[in-house]
């Protein structure tokens, strides 16, 4: 902070107070090692005064041989804040499950101290480590240091975005497949699709180990892989009794909250009709010591979620109701190649796969990728009689 | 060239996660028995082997300096052999095998201003976007609003005192990098005016056919401006999504007077009990009022309070509203219902009330 203009951040300074950790303090801390943070704070103060942003569109910047991983950003007031005239972001592919050692974290900090603002997001919305703010000339050197340290860039633009996953087998008893292992291997298998955008628009894959869906796969991923089991919930009767003895109202808080009413609590005994269970997780969430997912584990594969832009928000819908954990990776790779081929052929520019399926219809999409329709794919059959009978089906 | 260029390393992907796992986790990977919640912000996972791993979770502003990351690394070295992780909601988690370190670690975190909590029926950290710190299309700031809202809801982060989980998200425009469409409460930046077209710039940097195709309502059409090719916007058909601006920087959306915030409620991602669902509009517009955004903070706190007071145990926001009905939600929160709450985009009819299941609110004696 070298001149008067930058000292006046009266609005932002008010956000250093209050009990929640302050992002303004973080920017000022990063300013201890980086001269750009003063200008960042200055421009942000201008936005707070004027109630508008001061960043321009990206333009094409990146590292050699990649078409993704860098978000170009330029100030629209570069004369006033020359240190943030370019303020590009690098997306660094996070380790699966966002696990680190202190040594790995320090390695990342040291690289970013040498080449950028010293500001990060841990983590960005898609899951990447976000290195926030550097100049065009620093992109390639940052990248080379990252790869030398074993890290690589993530996705951006019309490519396969950096896959992400929940903590899974590493620290959760509910995980129905190895989310971190599958996420890692799928990420490695599609480095080209992540680094060189080949698609009509973005394509996100998220891996959740159970229907609690801690990485919001069903809401945020074009392909949502959500762990599920086929057999009965594993039940420890003594532990159920202990919950009841400790004051849990099993009838009200467990059985009556069950969406398919598949549980009965009678005479101190909990019984579950497995055939009616929808595997929602509520009873397991409430009694983690007593109930667990079954042992026949795998995942449901759903397709099509996205935020509103362009044709409205979508949740993913069921494509494959169950794949055994051991067959999951091969199934995913086969599915991805068929889905991408169809999308490549028929998708319009900036049309997500979910929007394409809405446009052409799920039945046509299933024909194209060679999957048979099953009733698990729908909430209900059609309620209109406008059936497009295919030639050959009629007499 | 006298020297061979150094071979560039590319396409190596992320480092394998196994090297970052605590030894207790490595030994018990995929073999966990159950977990316990000893205190807000503290979890204990018990393996089939009987080994235990403790987690201490702390909130962060998401925007983190390398100085703070090094502080987290130091804490991890002092208390848990250097093993830590981050969550999908921007919290930091320290992984310990020695429970005697939990209290000293918590004390150090609190002393440095990082609250411990966010587990179970607490409000976890707010998933949010870049806002004015780094985004070109934001209708508002992200970090500033999050800071003010979490200052006000701080005690709900450090205490597990709500009927169920409560997940708040903020996105600074309709692109929704923060995916706020499935949160219990969503704060969404919105524009309210059609793009202002910079015709000179448009000719230099935009492809007109791509620009026209980008509009989901077909509101952009070709036009000659001063005898030169450009476009015009049918303003009545514009829904202020900003998609045209994303493909063409000459379609300026920023408008200090008319940009602002909207509040949405009742979404969820988890399949627990009810199916995942979208957020629904609660408040169509609140002004952008930095640095404290008092209108937004007040609106969110009000919704949280009414929910906390009226929802039953284990009922998420959307499940509570479905039980009591939307009229009651608007009545209890005092939020005015307007024409803007009635959907008019695709499939709008699916959200109309198509039954005579109508609740009439009784007098003061009515019990919820």
How far apart CA A257 and CA A285 sit, in angstroms, is: 12
- Inter-chain residue contact A20 with B53, CB threshold 8 Å: no
In this predicted structure, the answer to whether residue B132 has a pLDDT above a threshold of 60 is: yes
**Å between B12 CA and nearest CA of chain A:** 6
Confidence class of residue A232 from pLDDT cuts 50, 70 and 90? very high
* pLDDT tens, residue by residue, A144-167: 999 999 999 999 999 999 999 999
Tokens of A102: 């202190």
According to the model, what pLDDT value does residue B2 have?
57
- Alpha carbon A211 to chain centroid distance? 15
Of B33, B60, B66, the CB nearest to A30: B66
**Å between B227 CA and nearest CA of chain A:** 27
Across chain B, mean pLDDT equals 94
* pLDDT tens, residue by residue, B194-209: 999 999 999 999 999 9
Confidence class of residue B230 from pLDDT cuts 50, 70 and 90? very high
**Closest residue in A to B176 (Cα–Cα):** A307
Interface residue A114 vs chain B (CB under 8 A) = no
Candidates B17, B57, B15; CA nearest to B35 is: B57
Least confident of A112-121, B41-50, B171-180, B226-235: B171-180
In this predicted structure, the answer to whether residue B220 has a pLDDT above a threshold of 90 is: yes
Confidence class of residue A183 from pLDDT cuts 50, 70 and 90? very high
Mutate to test the interface with A, among B24, B49, B133, B246 (most CBs of A within 10 A): B133
**Closest residue in B to A109 (Cα–Cα):** B66
Task: Please report, in angstroms and rounded to a whole number, the separation of the first and last CA atoms in chain B.
Answer: 82
pTM of the shown model: 0.96
- Which chain A positions have a beta carbon within 8 Å of B12's beta carbon? 147, 150, 152, 191
According to the model, what pLDDT value does residue A196 have?
97
Cis peptide before A310 (omega within 30 of 0): yes
- Inter-chain residue contact A95 with B213, CB threshold 8 Å: no
Residues 74-133 of B with CB under 8 A from A: 74, 76-77, 82-88, 90, 92, 95, 113-115, 127, 129-133
Interface residue B8 vs chain A (CB under 8 A) = yes
Residues 208-267 of B with CB under 8 A from A: 210, 213-214, 216, 241-243, 246-247, 249, 254-257, 259, 267
C-alpha distance from residue B160 to each of A145, A157, B37, B118, B163 (Å): 43, 39, 10, 8, 9
Residues 173-202 of B with CB under 8 A from A: 174-179, 181-182
Q: What percentage of chain B's residues is helix, strand, coil (to nearest 5)?
A: 35, 20, 45
Mean pLDDT of B275-296: 97
**Closest residue in A to B150 (Cα–Cα):** A20
Residue B336 buriedness (CB in 10 A; 0-12 / 13-18 / 19+): exposed
According to the model, what pLDDT value does residue A148 have?
97
Mean pLDDT of A284-294: 97
A80-89 burial, b at 16+ Cβ within 10 Å, e below that, comes to bbebbbbbbb
According to the model, what pLDDT value does residue B7 have?
81
According to DSSP, residue B171 is labeled E
Candidates A134, A173, A137; CA nearest to A36 is: A134
Confidence class of residue B91 from pLDDT cuts 50, 70 and 90? very high
Interface residue A247 vs chain B (CB under 8 A) = no
- Which chain B positions have a beta carbon within 8 Å of A115's beta carbon? none
In this predicted structure, the answer to whether residue B328 has a pLDDT above a threshold of 50 is: yes
Tokens of A117: 């603002």
- Inter-chain residue contact A19 with B273, CB threshold 8 Å: no
Confidence class of residue B245 from pLDDT cuts 50, 70 and 90? very high
Candidates A23, A111, A40; CA nearest to A78 is: A40
Across chain A, mean pLDDT equals 95
How far apart CA A68 and CA A205 sit, in angstroms, is: 17
C-alpha distance from residue B161 to each of A243, A247, B58, B88, B122 (Å): 20, 17, 17, 22, 6
Neighbouring-strand partners of residue B197 = B251
According to the model, what pLDDT value does residue A60 have?
81
Confidence class of residue B39 from pLDDT cuts 50, 70 and 90? very high
- Which chain A positions have a beta carbon within 8 Å of B137's beta carbon? 53
* DSSP 3-state of A92: strand
In this predicted structure, the answer to whether residue B367 has a pLDDT above a threshold of 50 is: no
Interface residue A349 vs chain B (CB under 8 A) = yes
According to the model, what pLDDT value does residue A254 have?
97
Interface residue A50 vs chain B (CB under 8 A) = yes
How far apart CA A319 and CA A370 sit, in angstroms, is: 12
CB atoms near residue A370 (< 10 Å): 10
In this predicted structure, the answer to whether residue B348 has a pLDDT above a threshold of 60 is: yes
Mean pLDDT of B241-252: 93
Confidence class of residue B259 from pLDDT cuts 50, 70 and 90? very high
According to the model, what pLDDT value does residue A1 have?
43
- Inter-chain residue contact A118 with B65, CB threshold 8 Å: yes
| Residues B244 and B214 sit within 8 Å (Cβ to Cβ) | yes
* pLDDT tens, residue by residue, A4-22: 555 689 999 999 999 999 9
In this predicted structure, the answer to whether residue B280 has a pLDDT above a threshold of 90 is: yes
Candidates A7, A113, A88; CA nearest to B134 is: A88
Least confident of A167-171, A172-176, B200-204: B200-204
The ipTM value here is 0.96
CB atoms near residue B63 (< 10 Å): 30
According to DSSP, residue A9 is labeled -
C-alpha distance from residue B198 to each of A75, A78, B137, B226 (Å): 18, 20, 16, 13
According to the model, what pLDDT value does residue B279 have?
97
Interface residue A55 vs chain B (CB under 8 A) = yes
According to the model, what pLDDT value does residue B363 have?
53
HEC letters along B274-333: CCCECCEEEEEEEECCCCCCHHHHHHHHHHHHHHHHHCCCCCCHHHHHHHHCHHHHHHHH
């Amino acid at each position: 902070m070298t001149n008067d203009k930058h000292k006046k951040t009266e609005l932002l300074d008010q956000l250093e107070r209050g009990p929640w950790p302050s992002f303004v303090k973080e920017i000022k801390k990063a300013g201890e090692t980086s001269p750009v943070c003063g200008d960042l704070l200055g421009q942000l103060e201008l936005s707070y005064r004027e109630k508008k942003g001061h960043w321009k569109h990206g333009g094409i910047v990146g590292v050699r041989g990649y078409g993704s991983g860098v978000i170009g950003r330029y100030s629209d007031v570069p004369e006033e804040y020359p240190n943030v005239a370019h303020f590009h972001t690098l997306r660094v592919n996070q380790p699966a499950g966002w696990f680190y050692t202190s040594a790995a974290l320090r390695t990342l900090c040291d690289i970013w101290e040498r080449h950028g603002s010293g500001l990060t997001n841990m983590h960005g919305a898609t899951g990447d480590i976000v290195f926030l703010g550097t100049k065009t000339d620093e992109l390639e050197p940052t990248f080379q240091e990252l790869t030398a340290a074993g890290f690589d860039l993530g996705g951006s633009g019309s490519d396969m975005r950096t896959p992400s996953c929940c903590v899974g087998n590493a620290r959760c008893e509910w995980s129905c497949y190895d989310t971190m292992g599958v996420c890692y291997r799928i990420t490695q298998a599609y480095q080209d699709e992540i680094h060189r955008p080949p698609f009509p628009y973005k394509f996100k894959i998220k891996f959740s180990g159970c229907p609690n869906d801690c990485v919001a796969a069903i809401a945020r991923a074009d392909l949502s892989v959500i762990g599920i089991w086929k057999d009965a919930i594993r039940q420890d009767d003594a532990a159920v009794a202990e919950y009841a003895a400790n004051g849990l109202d099993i009838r009200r808080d467990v059985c009556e909250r069950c969406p398919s009413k598949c549980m009965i609590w009678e005479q101190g005994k909990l019984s579950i009709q497995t055939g009616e269970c929808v595997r929602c997780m509520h009873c397991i969430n409430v009694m983690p010591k007593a109930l667990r997912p079954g042992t026949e584990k795998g995942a449901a594969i759903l397709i099509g979620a996205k935020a509103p832009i362009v044709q409205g928000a979508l949740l993913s819908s069921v494509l494959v109701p169950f794949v055994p954990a051991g067959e999951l990776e091969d199934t995913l790779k086969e599915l991805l190649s068929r889905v991408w081929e169809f999308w490549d052929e028929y998708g319009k520019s900036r049309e997500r796969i979910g929007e394409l399926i809405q446009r052409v219809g799920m039945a046509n999409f299933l024909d194209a990728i060679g999957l048979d329709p099953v009733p698990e794919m729908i909430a209900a059959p059609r309620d209109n009689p406008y059936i497009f009978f295919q030639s050959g089906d009629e007499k | 060239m006298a020297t061979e260029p150094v071979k560039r390393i590319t396409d190596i992907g992320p480092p394998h996660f196994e090297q970052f796992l605590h030894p207790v986790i490595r030994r018990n990977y995929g073999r966990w028995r159950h977990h316990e919640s000893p205190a807000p912000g503290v979890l204990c996972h018990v393996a089939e082997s009987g080994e235990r791993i403790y987690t201490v979770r702390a909130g962060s502003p998401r925007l983190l300096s390398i100085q703070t990351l090094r502080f987290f690394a130091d804490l991890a070295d002092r208390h848990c052999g250097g093993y830590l992780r981050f969550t999908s909601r921007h919290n930091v988690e320290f992984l310990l095998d020695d429970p005697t370190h939990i209290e000293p670690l918590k004390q150090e975190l609190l002393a440095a201003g990082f609250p411990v909590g966010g587990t179970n029926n607490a409000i976890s950290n707010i998933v949010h976007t870049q806002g004015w710190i780094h985004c070109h299309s934001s209708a508002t700031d992200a970090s500033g609003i999050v800071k003010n809202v979490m200052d006000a809801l701080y005690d709900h982060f450090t205490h597990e005192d709500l009927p169920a989980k409560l997940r708040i998200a903020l996105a600074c425009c309709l692109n929704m990098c923060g995916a706020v469409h499935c949160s219990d409460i969503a704060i969404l930046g919105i524009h309210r005016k059609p793009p202002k077209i910079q015709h000179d710039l448009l000719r230099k940097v935009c492809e007109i056919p791509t620009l026209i195709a980008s509009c989901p309502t077909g509101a952009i059409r070709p036009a000659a401006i001063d005898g030169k090719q450009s476009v015009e916007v049918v303003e009545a058909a514009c829904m202020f999504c900003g998609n045209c601006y994303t493909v063409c920087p000459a379609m300026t959306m920023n408008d200090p007077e008319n940009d602002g915030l909207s509040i949405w409620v009742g979404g969820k991602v988890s399949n627990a009990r009810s199916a995942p669902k979208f957020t629904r509009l609660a408040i169509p517009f609140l002004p952008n009022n930095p640095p404290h955004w008092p209108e937004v903070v007040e609106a969110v706190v009000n919704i949280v309070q009414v929910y906390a007071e009226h929802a039953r145990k284990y009922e998420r926001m959307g499940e509570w509203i479905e039980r009591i009905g939307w009229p009651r939600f608007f009545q209890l929160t005092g939020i005015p219902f307007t024409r803007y709450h009635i959907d008019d985009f695709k499939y709008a009819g699916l959200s109309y009330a198509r039954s005579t299941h109508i609740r009439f609110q009784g007098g003061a004696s009515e019990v919820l």
